[in-house]
Amino acid sequence: MVTDIAGYVASVFMRGLPFGFVPSSILAMVDASIGGKNGIDIGLYKNLVGTIRQPEFLLYDASLLKTLPKEEWVNGFAEIIKHASVKDAALFRELEKNRLAFYQKDKAALTKLIRRNVVIKSDIVQKDEFEQNERRLLNFGHTLGHAVENLYKLPHGHAIAIGMVVASMISEQYADFKNSDKLIEVLKRYGLPTLAEFDARKVMAVLKMDKKKEKDAINYILLNKIGHAIVKTIPIVQLEKMILSIINSR
Ligand code: GLY
């Protein structure tokens, strides 16, 4: 939220001032500082107003994480698990073996993990800054995640974790994916929620305002396998049915 608001204000004040970020949370280090999207929410709708303007510099210091509360570590790991799920199967296997406490204690492993995630995100952004192609894959878990985040006032990482679980289940029907159970296990391992009681109709009403909507369909990010994401255009009517059946089956 801090990088978004700072980046947004700097982008519009006097038609734009140079700015940079010194991220002090895992979430900001691996995700929010990188990419240049600076958005603010309007009511329930996430990032409805915003700019794309890149920071002039990013300055990282892992010692800033010494005072980070546990729930913010957990939040940040949702985006790390997302990166592994869409782009890096080897990283996913590493996450399956370790735990949060390991990265909290081992500074070298943590620094390596942050660097790897910075490279995953910045490579994608450099290839597709304006989200025409590959950058869309980074929205895995975010379509439904953003809707439940504001409706139920969930921490971003928790909402995204729930969004990834639903997207992985949709992937089992719409793509070749067979590993929802593995994703659920990793999310649990890092203290993230994997299901939530929510009202599918309310969620769909918010989801219909998603920026990725195209006429009566939404470009949903699915997994073919761990480490390989795809974009699938799903009609909203079909999506609603599927989300209802996923919720009712739990
Ligand atoms: N500021 C985060 C992003 O551009 O994805």
The count of structural domains within the chain is 1
Q: Which two tokens stand for residue 228?
A: 């390989």
Closest-lying ligand 1 atom to the alpha carbon of residue 32: 2
d(CA 151, CA 133): 29
Grouped pLDDT means (10 residues each) for the chain, 250 residues:
96 97 98 97 88 98 96 98 98 98 97 98 98 97 92 95 96 94 98 89 84 84 98 93 82
Residue 225 lies inside a defined structural domain of this protein? yes
Give me the CATH number covering residue 108: 1.20.1090.10
What is the longest distance spanned by two Cα atoms in the chain? 52
- Does residue 28 lie in a domain region? no
Residue 123: inside a domain: yes
In a domain, 196, yes or no: yes
What is the tens place of the pLDDT at every residue in 41-61? 888 888 889 999 999 999 999
CA atoms within 13 A on the CB side of 55: 20
Q: Which of 249, 194, 203, 213 is nearest to 81 (CA)?
A: 194
Domain limits for position 116: 64-249
The answer to whether the CB of 83 falls within 8 A of the CB of 221 is no
pLDDT tens-digit map of 108-153: 999 999 999 999 999 999 999 999 999 999 999 999 999 999 899 9
Q: Which of 1, 5, 34 to mutate to test the pocket of ligand 1 (most atoms within 8 A of CB)?
A: 34
Give residue ranges with CB within 6 A of ligand 1. Answer: 3, 32, 35-37
The DSSP result for 135-163, as a single string, is GGGGGTTHHHHHHHHHHTT--HHHHHHHH
Position of tokens 């913010």?
72
